[in-house]
Structure 1
Amino acid sequence: MAKYTTALDDQGLLCPLAKSSTRRSIPTGNPNTKSPPAAAFSDSSRWQRAAKKSTARRQLPDGEGTVYTGGSTSRTLSHRLGHVLPHYANPHAVTIGIQLYRFTVPGPSSDNVFTLMNTNAGATGSLGVLPHIHQAHHENFFTFRGDYGSVPRNTAHTFQMLDPDTDMVGALSPGQLEDLFHALGKNYTSDANTPYVLQAVNDSSAAGPRASEISSLGRFDIYAQVDFQPGEPGESSFIANNYGPKYPN
């Protein structure tokens, strides 16, 4: 189970940017072809424009992005292709503190429509990352056998791993936010296919970048909210994931 903390923005909106005049449109596609409609993003965000342009020119390092189908290597995650991955395979995996991040659908393999990532870690008393917001990205988190968290744009948030074996999936839109994790983390490879790095020490190293670092990550759509104080959720009402308390909204 992971604990999420969020807050409304200063206008009381969960989905801000209400003053923006930009519009999001989805082309209908050509009815005479079998090609699906292409998703279109607003051009109001420099990040989104850069993400759309980066698909063709992004070059993966040798040996990364291998996709496994039926036990053999066949394709790479650098293109928009269907793929199958074994449980706990390590595509584009990095570690930040005790947290292990696997990117099962990186931005380029979805034409930067979204990124799909897995986060695995043991229990810790530290935050997974300091409070922050994203101006262009909407994050959705699912903890297996546990809770769901939605983080719209401009919503202050952080998270903390509470269970001794937390397995969380994140769907991030638009894609290619994985570039942030590759910039901050260490490349991870292993033949053991364990959920996370079992030798990792459960201490303050769990908490992502420091305040001085997170304040300089605007190029990755990360904007620090270091003074954010989450509210108190009240008394727990039932048990989630057979471990620890769960709180109603």
Structure 2
Amino acid sequence: MPTITTQDGTQIYYKDWGSGPVVVMSHGWPLTADSWESQMLFLASQGYRVIAHDRRGHGRSSQPWHGNEMDTYADDLATLIEQLGLQAITLVGFSTGGGEITRYIGRHGTRRVAAAVLVSAVPPLMLKTAANPIGLPIEVFDGIRAGQVADRSQLYKDLAAGPFFGFNRPGAKPSQGMIDSFWMQGMMGGHKNTHDCIKAFSETDFTEDLKKFDVPTLVIHGDDDQVVPIDAAGRSSARLVEGARLIVYPGAPHGITDTHKERLNQDLLDFLKAQG
């Protein structure tokens, strides 16, 4: 399997499909690069080189005890980009991966970045605080942590069968395949790593990172996202990034990479083509 090795010896698995202008995709929690497979297949077929990695502690990458936080995730991404010699890339981040690419720009700048896309992404801050009253209470994330410790296999099944894909909404038609894929990807990750990642995606404040964006930026979010609510996330991020374009998917859940993949694929392609 293709991997790169970070400064602390962590091996990061990645897949590298197609040729052409480069798109680098960062996945959500507790998933893997496989969660991007519909977008990767489509964009690679349209003449793009598409790269997606498994975050440390997730999927086929190493499961180190330490470094399961956003600064290190961003530095791992920087190592991947540098070791592969990538330039003029479009960064695309879903959910937690949106935080990862945002912190990457905050820490490493846009010297190698041509554009950015935030999809159902966690920035600027998920947690409710005095300065962020529209965030989610800490009890929500404590509940996820408790569920993971008690029975993470069941937690992942419940998330996928319920709010992640919106299968808990009236009239929804659950896909057992999507549920099984989510569960399988989640269980590939390390217990400690995915547990730590809950704090990373919920408590990291990306406000100052977003203010450093100086490349064309697209924000895509469903307005029925029960996992990362649009007001505290997509709409707030779009306001913080100068010139960002916000596309709202009416009635769409969190997991739009699967539930709305045809529209998302086309919106990504249109955005890429607009960059030349």
TM over 0.5: no
Which has a greater percent of helix? 2
Which has a greater percent of strand? 1
